[in-house]
Amino acid sequence: MILHPYVGSGQWLRGNLHAHTTKSDGVFQIEELVRNYEALGYDFLVITDHNKITPIENINTEILVLLGSEISTDKGHIVAVNLKEPIKPNQPSQEVIDAINAQGGIAIIAHPNWGENFCHWQQEDLLSLQDYAGIEIFNGNILRDNGSPLASDRWDMLLSRGHKCWCYAVDDTHNELDIANGWMMVLVDEINADSIVKALREGRCYASSGVFFEAIESDETNIRIVARNADRIAFVGRNGRWLKWVNDKFASYRVRGDESYIRVEAFGPHGSMAWTQPFFIVP
């Protein structure tokens, strides 16, 4: 049996989950930040200043702006989406995750491979922590900082050890260089903040740095993918192993039954990518 989150119909919305303003270490005022994403046709934006919630009243915009925060913990940074009350920083990570969930928020592990040791987060901590929704597998801000913007390696290690969580791509906007490098596409029934949060929590979403999917689906035995602008599609399994790849914008994979999980990476122009959530294979 193939279990995956891309069930039902709806419409795809585009949004950035991680952005800073002048209220922490970003260069944009809140309204400037919102206008930048509005001009690119984004549907939603989450403002995540460090260790605080930046209020967003009095901005007249078409974009849904959600409250959030990037919270420092004893082990690393955690992005909280849909936060209502600020959470005290520098507490144990698990307490911060629990506090985010208690408010109906979504806890996302930030930039695991940031820093000159490529290890903002220790893998053993990611493995032992519970109840975070997922990890940033692409953080655009790290393109111009030490470490790797990618963390699909960390994600495969978690999934391979049975730690189910989702992937997210974000800008981590601090200045103009950070805009529209990484984003989420979420599949929603209705255009409102609750539907976006629900889709992000349930994995009805995919991560992108430039490639768009037009179909992500399965029947009893096959996974089928159509990308708008990819020239390679890869099916990735346990321990990060490529099970199959096709140099085209269409691809399908026939499930054997012993894969445990299969996820899809698509590659497009100028080094761009997109990542589906995992398809879990139940023998």
Check residue 171 for interaction with Zn ion (CB under 5 A): no
Q: How far is CA 15 from the centre of its chain?
A: 10
Stretch that binds Zn ion, among 37-45, 99-107, 166-174, 242-250 (CB under 5 A): 166-174
Residue with smaller CB distance to Zn ion, 76 or 278: 76
Stretch that binds Zn ion, among 97-105, 168-176, 220-228, 230-238 (CB under 5 A): 168-176
173 strand-pairing partners: 19
Q: How far is the CB of 278 from Zn ion (least distance, A)?
A: 25
Stretch that binds Zn ion, among 55-63, 67-75, 118-126, 262-270 (CB under 5 A): 67-75
70 near Zn ion, rule: CB under 5 A: yes
The closest residue (CB) to Zn ion is 172
CB of 203 to Zn ion, least distance (A): 22
Query: Which residue's CB is nearer to Zn ion, number 139 or number 276?
Result: 139
C-beta closer to Zn ion: residue 43 or 172: 172
Does residue 156 belong to the site contacting Zn ion (CB under 5 A)? no
The Cα–Cα gap between 177 and 122 comes to: 28
